[in-house]
Structure 1
Amino acid sequence: MDPEDDQAPADPLALIERERANLVRHIAPDPRLMYWPWGFAWLIGFTLLFLRYGPDGKVYVNLPDWLPLTVLMLLFIAAGLVTGFAGSRSVRRTSGPTSQAGLAYGLTWSIAFFGFSVLYARLANDLPDQQAGLLWAGGMVALTGALHMAGSAIWQDRQLFVLGAWTSVINIVGIVAGPGWHSLIVAIAGGAGMIVAGFLGWRRLR
């Protein structure tokens, strides 16, 4: 028997797999554009918060009070614009349930963060400044981790679940450690985690 006869049936399957991989590369957004803007936003923004509002109120760098949070918000807006553009390009290339799931998932992020922002605005004035800051940062990071894990169920993406679980764990560690330390932990472990996730996702698509 010709050895090539045993390999022939596998050729169509290999062709289908290659075409499927090519399709995924064509329609999937670049993971670097989805993760890196947020990773660098967390790394830079939360580091500034740590330097200005360190543990026990310690000031490592005497920045203006308004600067760290303003920079963080601007970085978040920039990251949202970049990922929104990259995600919308992917949605335009698809139709049907996949497109609807992408739209619903994006709206879920917006509604969840808006709802938490309203809650924070309602409670922040009743808390000391450091505790109010921990409530805002801890709540936002908790939502991010939960939505990442929910997204993994929608897109069947194990890496997204790992990132969400990692984000949730470091957030809990930071909250237990307290104000100041939370910013440092989220900046380094959270920001770096997203940067690594973007790189690994890009390599996987290649």
Structure 2
Amino acid sequence: MTSTDDESSFEDPGEALRLIEREQANTMRHVTPDPRLMYWPWGLTWLISFGLSFLRFGPDGKTFVDMPDWLPLLALTGLLIAAGIFTGIVGARASRHISGPSSRQGAAYGISWSAGFTSLAIIFGRVGEHVPDEMLGLLWGGGMVALVGVLYMAGSAIWDVRDMFVLGAWISVVNVIGVLWGPGWHALVLAVAGGGGLLAAGLIGWMRRR
């Protein structure tokens, strides 16, 4: 019997299965942003901004590098905005061909980040005037980073991505350790372990993606 064009040309079913798996992997790489582009901007933001905070407001009020008081906060605000815009563009470009539940999940997750940070900023701004100056940075830094850790773990539950849960748990543990150590040390821990963890997550994700 002569084969027709619509018949499968694969004599080995395993070869067809391997082709399907390769195409699925290629599709996932196409619609999933490069982990380096999603994690490295935030890792650099933490490394630079919290590093400046440690150098200016060290443990026991010690100043390692003389700089204006407003510089660490300005750097943190500017870098957070830049990182948010950059990763938002990368994520939007990667998901422009996705529709349905996955698209709605991504939109809801992104709104959750904005709503969480806005809510905490309003709360901390309202009660901050009643907090001692040496503890104010710990309140803002510890609270915001706690939210980041929880949101990463929530993202893991949404998309069943184990690496996101590991990263969120790491950030949460690092944050708690820094808060327990107190002002100054908290900024150093977040700069090195927190920012370094985000940089490592981007690198590991990229290597696995390849």
Q: Equivalent of 2:189, from 185, 189, 193?
A: 185
Matches within 5 A, 1:13-24: 13-24=17-28
Q: Does 1:32 align with 2:36?
A: yes
Q: Which residue of 1 aligns with 2:146?
A: 142
TM-score between the two structures when normalised by the length of structure 2: 0.93
TM-score between the two structures when normalised by the length of structure 1: 0.95
Q: Which runs of 4+ in 1 moved over 6 A?
A: none
Q: Percent identity between the aligned chains? A: 57
Q: Which residue of 2 aligns with 1:116?
A: 120
Whole-angstrom distance in 1 between the partners of 2:77 and 2:126: 19
The structure with the greater share of residues assigned to helix is 1
Q: Equivalent of 2:76, from 59, 72, 75?
A: 72
Q: Which residue of 2 aligns with 1:176?
A: 180
Deviation sequence 1:51-79 (CA, Å, 0-9, x none): 00011111111110111110111111110
CA RMSD for the aligned pairs?
1.0
Gaps of 5+ in 2: 1-10
SS in 2 for 1:202: helix
- How many residue pairs match? The answer is 200
Whole-angstrom distance in 2 between the partners of 1:105 and 1:133: 27
Q: Does 1:105 align with 2:109?
A: yes
Q: Equivalent of 2:63, from 55, 59, 80?
A: 59
Deviation sequence 1:80-118 (CA, Å, 0-9, x none): 011110111122120001111110000000000000001
